[in-house]
Amino acid sequence: MFSNEIYYCEPVYRPPSEAYSLLIQATEGCTHRCTFCVSNWGKKYKVRAFDEIKRDLDTARRIYGTRVEKIFFLDGNAMSMPYQNLLEITHYAKSLFPNLKRASLYAHSKDILNKTEEELKSLADAGLKMAYIGIESGNNDLLEAVRKNQTAEDVIAAFHKCFKTGITPSGTIILGLAGRNRDLSVRHMKDTADLVNRASPVHVVTGKSIPPWYISCLALMIPEGTPVHKDTVSGKFTPMDSDEILYEMKIFIENISDDVSHCIFRSNHASNYLALEGVLRKDRDKILGIIEKNLKDKSDIRPEFYRGL
């Protein structure tokens, strides 16, 4: 008798664009401890054994048949899995689901840098087509303060490596990460725009068409149990309000250069005060117009109680 239950190590988080994907627990927790992130605290990092993952994939095959088109490998940084394990589960998933269009996962920039170009190419060929990478900020002081364990240069190198190997990178930026600190907030946004300008595929992909890539903004949430929550309660950290967050997004968009093209920009994650979508740099003025309007009339601002992670 087979069980019809797929194992999850709760709570699980996935990007908004993976809402209809089959979620498969490949790792548990995360190898990092960023001060703002809830997905690591309370979970012990673990790479699940192939047999356990295989059992869940087999169960999903029995439940959904061959309908599955997208798979998202949980957890916080599933790209940290050893190359062979990741290749094996991607191959197995593809063998069960012939209609699979892509497998994807969360990846810390260093998980990508720790794999060779050949390994990343093989993973992409096997079906691992997208990596969600936490940029958070392009400002190295802020990255250090939030214990991100990466620099802007690491993120740029990781994006370039993805473009060269056929993995689509999707980067997330956290608005409000500097808290109510005007000087750091401006540096946060200018340096983040600079990082995105330098991460653009135009710097590494030559002789063929520029691939689409993704940049999303999230707005800082203060989850209980995290160091940023402790600092907020003690008064050491003051969160920004919706106007300040919008103003940060404005600085970011204003500083995007002509180097950026084919970049799908979104702020549709539930943490945001203002949901936007456009293509950078093409739609820069349109996006800025909507931000300006909402700074004045707040007509599209999401109420605080609707925000979430």
Ligand X SMILES: C[S@@+](CC[C@H](N)C(=O)[O-])C[C@H]1O[C@@H](n2cnc3c(N)ncnc32)[C@H](O)[C@@H]1O
The number of beta carbons lying within 10 Å of the beta carbon of residue 19 is 9
Q: Is the peptide bond before 284 cis (omega within 30 degrees of 0)?
A: no
Three-state DSSP class for residue 213: strand
Binding partner of 13, given ligand X, ligand SF4, none, CB within 5-8 angstroms per partner class: ligand X
Count of residues in contact with ligand SF4, rule CB under 6 A: 11
171: closest CA among 139, 143, 130? 130
Q: Is the CB of residue 57 less than 8 Å from the CB of residue 90?
A: no
Range 269-288, binding ligand X (CB under 6 A)? 271
Cβ-based nearer residue to ligand SF4, 27 or 272: 27
- Residue 149, phi-psi category: left (phi > 0), alpha (psi -120 to 50), beta (remainder): left
Task: Report how far apart, in Å, the C-alpha atoms of 90 and of each of 19, 170, 237, 268 are.
Answer: 19, 19, 42, 28
- Residue 166, phi-psi category: left (phi > 0), alpha (psi -120 to 50), beta (remainder): left
Q: Is the CB of residue 177 less than 8 Å from the CB of residue 220?
A: yes
Q: Return d(Cα 118, Cα 115) in angstroms, integer.
A: 8
Binding mask 102-141 for ligand SF4 (x = CB under 6 A): ------x-------------------------x-------
138: closest CA among 200, 201, 216, 196? 196
* Under rule CB under 6 A, residue 13 binds ligand X: yes
Cβ-based nearer residue to ligand SF4, 108 or 266: 108
Q: According to CB under 6 A, which one of 22, 24, 30, 112 is a site residue for ligand SF4?
A: 30
Binding partner of 283, given ligand SF4, ligand X, none, CB within 5-8 angstroms per partner class: none
Q: According to CB under 6 A, which one of 25, 71, 76, 193 is a site residue for ligand X?
A: 76
* Under rule CB under 6 A, residue 34 binds ligand SF4: yes
The least CB distance from residue 131 to ligand SF4, in Å, is 12
Count of residues in contact with ligand X, rule CB under 6 A: 21
Binding site for ligand SF4 (CB under 6 A): 30, 32-34, 37, 39-40, 76-77, 108, 134
Binding site for ligand X (CB under 6 A): 13, 30, 36-37, 39, 76-77, 106-108, 133-134, 136, 172, 174, 218, 220-221, 223, 271, 309
